[in-house]
């Protein structure tokens, strides 16, 4: 696999970039559609490795999946009785943490496995929770087998979801189909990425499933009920959009993204506030076009990213280009993502001449130094790869190892990035 030489534009970026659908919303919509009381039509479906793994996993368990003949982003999902099957999780957290609860509703054994690197990702929280709710499971991580009996008893369960909000969302999405519903109580350090749980709750409510959230007790309750079929329209992926908006900030240029929602539960929307703190100007027009114009020099930031940890690689890359010392806090949980993102970012920023050190819960990055070209390692992590692409806009000759890993959420990343930078062949 050859290294990709990141584009080094001759002038500030000036582009409009139309982004594909949100991975987080797509995969939640697919699960709710599979558990609904009738067929659902999903438009704007993201077609990437993570979402295709979700589609294939649901199909393997018996869900009807039909693709529009002329538009692969339009998918009709027809609930059918779930049966035994094999699920490839790849490196997708939403697949390995959301589908076990769905598999428990199948009549038969569901075998889960994934990429070699995925076998080190923490799963015991969701698997132990399902055991406490009456599910028979062999294994504490990939590979594991869920022995589905066609129903799940449900009831009360206490978990520590401080490693990932996906543990909560994975139980909530299927809870209405459990015999006794579910009551989830979190005990431990604060749950990260709470906006993703807000997204789950909002989508459940759209599908007719009420979720009671006791904020003081950190407790979520879902009563057994019917999941209503919904025709979902998927928003653009704002986390992926953040990388392109960062290009404007990095080059004192302009990048516009169409169809930016007025309100959203996507954590990626928070990139706007961070970019403004770093000196960028932002405009959101009445027709939904969001435009970022970068400053002549980037200001450092002191930011708690606990709820928006997925944006850390993008923000860290900008901090390495900023004039001054940035502190990124509240992100210790990133050590359990596709890779140890804190260690990976520190290693790679330092490799190219930057100054980055890990703290207990984040990073301290001293920008303003002279960066040099090298091979930026991706660690099979799509967001590490895109962080290297951002630095390549300012460092001529920067190479990104395994840029193909961006297909996890953005199959056309290289072509889109080169077109934005004006270097497409």
> For 221, what's the count of Cα atoms within 13 Å in the CB-facing half-sphere?
7
Residue 388 annotated as binding site: no
**Residue 343, annotated ligand binder?**
no
Task: Judge whether 23 is annotated as a binding position.
Answer: yes
408 annotated as ligand-binding = yes
Cα–Cα distance between 243 and 389 in angstroms, integer?
Answer: 9
Flag whether 212 is marked binding.
Answer: no
Per-residue tokens: 317: 């890359």
Q: What distance lies between CA 120 and its chain's CA centroid?
A: 18
Residue 282 phi, psi dihedral angles, 5° rounding: -130, 135
User: Would you say 425 is a known binding-site residue?
Assistant: no
Return the closest-CA partner of residue 143 out of 93, 105, 87, 103.
87
Is 341 one of the annotated binding-site residues?
Answer: yes
Q: Was 383 annotated as part of a binding site?
A: yes
Q: Is 97 annotated among the ligand-binding residues?
A: no
- Which position among 235, 310, 338, 348 bears the catalytic label? 310
Contact 105, 174 (CB under 8 A): yes
Residue 228 labeled ligand binder: no
Torsion of CA 103, 109, 110, 116, to 10 degrees: 140
The answer to whether 164 is annotated as binding is yes
Confirm if 169 and 186 have CB atoms less than 8 A apart.
no
Alpha-carbon distance of 5 to 179, in angstroms, equals 54
Phi-psi region of 56 (alpha: psi -120 to 50; beta: other; left: phi over 0): alpha
- Asked if residue 296 belongs to a known ligand binding site, the reply is no
Continuous segment of H or E residues that includes residue 88: strand 83-88
DSSP assigned state of 299: P
Annotated catalytic residue 156: no
Contact between residue 391 and residue 321 where contact means Cβ atoms under 8 Å apart: yes
Residue ranges at the known binding site for 3-phosphoshikimate: 23-24, 28, 164-166, 193, 310, 337
Active site residues: 310
Q: Which residues are annotated as a binding site for phosphoenolpyruvate?
A: 23, 93, 121, 166, 341, 383, 408
User: Which residue ranges make up the annotated binding site?
Assistant: 23-24, 28, 93, 121, 164-166, 193, 310, 337, 341, 383, 408
């Amino acid at each position: 696999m050859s290294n990709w030489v990141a584009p080094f534009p001759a002038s500030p970026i000036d582009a409009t970039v139309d982004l594909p659908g949100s991975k987080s919303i797509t995969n939640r919509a697919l699960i709710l559609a599979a558990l609904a009381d009738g067929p659902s039509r999903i438009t704007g479906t993201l077609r990437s490795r993570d979402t295709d793994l979700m589609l294939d996993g649901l199909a393997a368990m018996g869900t009807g999946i039909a693709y529009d003949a002329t538009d692969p982003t339009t998918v009709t999902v027809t609930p059918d009785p779930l049966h035994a099957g094999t699920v490839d999780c790849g490196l997708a957290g939403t697949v390995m943490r959301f589908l076990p609860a769905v598999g428990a509703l199948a009549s038969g054994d569901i075998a889960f496995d994934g990429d070699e690197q995925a076998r080190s990702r923490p799963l015991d929280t969701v698997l132990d929770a399902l055991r406490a709710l009456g599910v028979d499971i062999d294994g504490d991580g990939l590979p594991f087998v869920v022995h589905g009996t066609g129903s799940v008893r449900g009831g009360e369960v206490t978990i520590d979801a401080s490693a990932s909000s996906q543990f909560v969302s994975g139980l909530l999405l299927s809870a209405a189909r459990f015999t006794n519903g579910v009551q989830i109580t979190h005990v431990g350090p604060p749950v990260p990425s709470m906006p993703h749980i807000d997204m789950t709750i909002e989508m459940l409510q759209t599908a007719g499933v009420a979720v009671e959230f006791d904020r003081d007790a950190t407790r979520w309750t879902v009563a057994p009920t019917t999941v209503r079929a919904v025709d979902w329209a998927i928003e653009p992926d704002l986390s992926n959009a953040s990388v392109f908006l960062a290009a404007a900030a990095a080059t004192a240029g302009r990048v516009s993204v169409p169809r930016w929602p007025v309100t959203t539960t996507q954590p990626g929307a928070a990139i706007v506030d961070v970019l403004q703190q770093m000196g960028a100007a932002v405009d959101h027009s009445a027709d939904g076009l969001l435009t970022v114009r970068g400053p002549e020099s980037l200001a450092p930031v002191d930011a708690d990213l606990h709820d928006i940890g997925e944006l850390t690689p993008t923000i860290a890359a900008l901090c390495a280009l900023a004039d001054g010392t940035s502190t990124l806090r509240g992100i210790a949980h990133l050590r359990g993502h596709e890779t140890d993102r804190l260690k990976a970012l520190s290693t790679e920023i330092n490799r190219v001449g930057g100054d980055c050190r890990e703290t207990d819960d984040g990073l301290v990055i001293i920008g303003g130094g002279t960066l040099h070209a090298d091979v930026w390692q991706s660690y099979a992590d799509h967001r590490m790869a895109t962080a290297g692409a951002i630095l390549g806009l300012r460092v001529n000759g920067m190479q990104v190892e395994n840029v193909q890993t961006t297909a996890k959420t953005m199959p056309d990343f290289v072509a889109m990035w080169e077109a934005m930078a004006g270097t497409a062949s």
